[in-house]
Amino acid sequence: MEASSSFLMTLGAACLLVSWVLLMITSWRAEFTWGMVSLLLPPVSYCYALFRLDQAGSSVAFAALGWLLIWLGW
């Protein structure tokens, strides 16, 4: 694996982690139950974020950026 590829994949993973943390904060502010769901089942919480783009738009944007960076690094 080249250095640029590993750098892009690391940045992508970091963006995904940041998006998950932002989504947990947003979910817990909205409702305790969704906060627990986002902690225990992160893929389900992204479905919640797609329906609440007004509140969780930044976390979805970070997740899309993370997946794009991982794809570019692949």
Q: What is the pTM of this model?
A: 0.87
Query: Of 61, 56, 68, 64, which is closest to residue 23 (Cα–Cα)?
Result: 56
pLDDT digits (tens, 9 = 90+) for 17-48: 999 999 999 999 989 998 898 889 888 888 88
The mean pLDDT value for 45-69 works out to: 92
At 2 the pLDDT is 87
Could you report how far apart the first and last alpha carbons of the chain are, in Å?
9
With cut-offs at 50, 70 and 90, classify the pLDDT of residue 72: very high
